[in-house]
Amino acid sequence: MTSDDRMHHIVKRFYDASTTCSLEISEQLGMSQLQVNQIHYLKLIDEHDSLTFSLMAELLGITKPSVTEIVNKLIRLECVTKTQSPDDGRVYFIELSEKGRNIARSRALSENKIIELILKKLDPNEVETFIRLLDKISG
């Protein structure tokens, strides 16, 4: 097997392991019941403290009734809650539930799982070499 063939084989195995980790996290979090745009909305909510319906509409460039529809779907999926403002009864804040937060941060969970796999397989010297090589490749 040539170096080129070995490299293709190793990259494929690493990619497969990464994909497997991501799929396992997705399955554990029940992400299969969500559409891609709903995951995007959860990430948006996660990035903003005290997100209101008006601010979400502005950020997405859509109407408040559209945001209401989105939020109601996410509530049914147990990904968000809405809380009435104590200062203004007309204003509601959109907050992530634990499930919604985990889904919004699923990429980080997948990355952590991959790192755990690497750390289990490599000794400390190999980890340092691995880091240097990846840094060289990505830099």
Tokens 């994909």 belong to residue: 19
Predicted local distance difference test score (pLDDT) of residue 127: 94
**Sheet-wide strand order for 51-52:** 51-52, 92-96, 80-84
Looking at the domain 34-104, which fold is it?
A: Arc Repressor Mutant, subunit A (1.10.10)
Point out the residues of the chain with pLDDT beneath 50.
none
- Two tokens at 121? 């397989």
Backbone dihedral angles phi then psi of residue 34, each to the nearest 5 degrees: -105, 150
Task: Give yes or no for a contact between 103 and 80, defined as CB atoms under 8 angstroms apart.
Answer: no
